[in-house]
C-alpha cells in the first residue's frame, strides 16, 4: 500500500506500479468534462498553482452549502474518465499534473502522456460516494461554480487517506489493457470466433 502525499514530485510517481493500492492525502482538485475543455482552451493561470504537482479528481460531487458560506462534500465518487481522453495528456503536460483519479481507465493517448510526463492513473471504486466523501476533510475553494454548475466546477479539496488503486502507471503499464485482452480471448472462445474475426 503506497501513501501519497500531495503535491508530490515525479520520482515518487514513477515508483508506483499497476495493481498497487495507494492512499492519498493532501490537496487535490476536481475536474471533469467542462473543466478539461476549459483547461486546454488556454493556459488558466488562476488554477495552475493548484494543478502543479497534484492530482485531478474526475468527480462531480453533491455539495452542501453551509450557512457560513463554506461547503461540504455530501457524496463524491469518481466519474467515468474515458470522456477526458482527448484532453487528459495535454492537461497533464501543460499544468504539470502528477495524476488523475477516476474510474473505468483511459486509453492510449493518456497512457503515452503518463509515461512522457511522469503521471499515474488512480482508480477509485465507482459508486462509493459516501466512503469517498468522508475522505474529503475540507473544501478549500471552488473555481467556475456559477458558470459550470456544481458537478462541473473545479473544487479544491483536502483529502485524507483517500483510497485508490494504480491502474495505469508512468511506465506504460495498464491494468485496463490487460483485462481487455484477457476478456477478449474468453469472448472469442465463447462465441467460437477466431481472433481475426473478433
Partner 1 sequence: MKDFEQWTKLLVDVIARATAQLPEDVTRAIRQGRTHEAEGSLAAMALDAVLKNAELACTDKAPMCQDTGVPIFWIHHPVGVSTGMLSKACAEAVRQATAQNLLRENAVDTLTGKNTGNGYAPSIPSVHCEEWDRPETKVQLLLKGGGCENTSAQYSLPDTKLGADRNLEGARRVVLDAVFQAQGKGCGPGILGVCLGGDRGTGYLEAKYQLLRHLDDHNPTPELDAMETRILDEANQLGIGPMGFGGKTTLLGVKIGTLGRVPASYFVSIAYLCWAARRAGAVVAANGDVTWLS
80, 97, 78, 77: which is closest to 88 by C-alpha?
A: 97
179 scored as a contact of partner 1 (CB under 8 A): yes
Separation of CA 152 from chain center: 14
Q: CA 156, CA 126: separation in Å to the nearest integer? A: 20
CB of 85 to partner 1, least distance (A): 12
180 scored as a contact of partner 1 (CB under 8 A): yes
144 scored as a contact of partner 1 (CB under 8 A): no
171 scored as a contact of partner 1 (CB under 8 A): no
Q: CA 25, CA 2: separation in Å to the nearest integer? A: 11
> Candidates 9-17, 46-54, 69-77, 91-99 — which segment interacts with partner 1 by CB under 8 A?
69-77
For residue 95, give the C-alpha cell. Answer: 499544468
Give the residue, chosen from 103, 111, 117, 144, that forms a contact with partner 1 under the rule CB under 8 A: 103
Q: Toward partner 1, which CB reaches closer, 172 or 198?
A: 198
Task: Identify the sign of the CA torsion 149, 152, 157, 163.
Answer: positive
> Candidates 39-47, 71-79, 92-100, 113-121 — which segment interacts with partner 1 by CB under 8 A?
71-79
Give the residue, chosen from 80, 90, 109, 138, that forms a contact with partner 1 under the rule CB under 8 A: 80
**Who's near 137: CB < 8 A, 6+ residues apart?**
158, 159, 160
Measured in degrees and rounded to the nearest 5, phi and psi for residue 2 equal -85, 145
Q: Toward partner 1, which CB reaches closer, 115 or 145?
A: 145
CA of 93: how far to CAs of 51, 52, 59, 107, in Å?
A: 11, 10, 20, 16
Measured in degrees and rounded to the nearest 5, phi and psi for residue 37 equal -60, -40
Residue 36 annotated among the catalytic residues of the structure: yes
Residues within the interface to partner 1 (CB under 8 A): 19, 21, 34, 59-62, 64, 74-77, 79-80, 82, 103-105, 123, 125-131, 133-134, 148-152, 163, 165, 167, 175-176, 178-180, 182-184, 186-187, 190-193, 197-198
Residues assigned a catalytic role = 36
Amino acid at each position: 500500500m503506497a501513501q501519497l502525499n500531495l503535491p508530490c514530485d515525479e520520482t515518487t510517481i514513477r515508483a508506483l506500479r499497476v495493481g498497487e493500492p495507494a492512499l492519498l492525502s493532501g490537496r487535490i482538485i476536481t475536474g471533469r468534462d467542462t473543466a478539461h475543455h476549459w483547461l486546454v482552451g488556454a493556459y488558466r493561470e488562476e488554477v495552475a498553482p493548484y494543478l502543479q504537482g497534484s492530482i485531478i479528481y474526475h468527480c462531480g460531487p453533491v455539495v452542501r452549502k453551509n450557512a457560513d458560506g463554506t461547503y461540504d462534500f455530501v457524496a463524491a465518487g469518481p466519474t467515468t474518465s474515458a470522456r477526458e481522453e482527448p484532453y487528459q495528456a495535454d492537461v497533464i503536460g501543460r499544468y504539470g499534473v502528477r495524476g488523475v483519479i477516476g474510474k473505468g481507465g483511459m486509453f492510449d493517448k493518456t497512457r503515452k502522456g503518463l509515461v512522457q510526463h511522469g503521471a499515474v492513473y488512480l482508480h477509485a471504486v465507482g459508486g462509493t460516494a459516501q466512503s469517498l466523501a468522508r475522505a474529503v476533510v475540507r473544501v478549500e475553494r471552488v473555481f467556475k461554480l456559477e458558470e459550470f454548475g456544481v458537478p462541473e466546477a473545479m473544487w479544491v479539496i483536502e483529502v485524507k487517506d483517500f483510497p485508490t488503486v494504480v491502474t495505469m502507471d508512468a511506465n506504460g503499464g495498464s491494468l485496463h489493457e490487460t483485462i481487455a485482452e484477457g476478456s477478449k480471448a474468453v469472448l472469442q472462445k465463447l462465441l467460437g470466433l477466431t481472433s481475426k474475426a473478433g
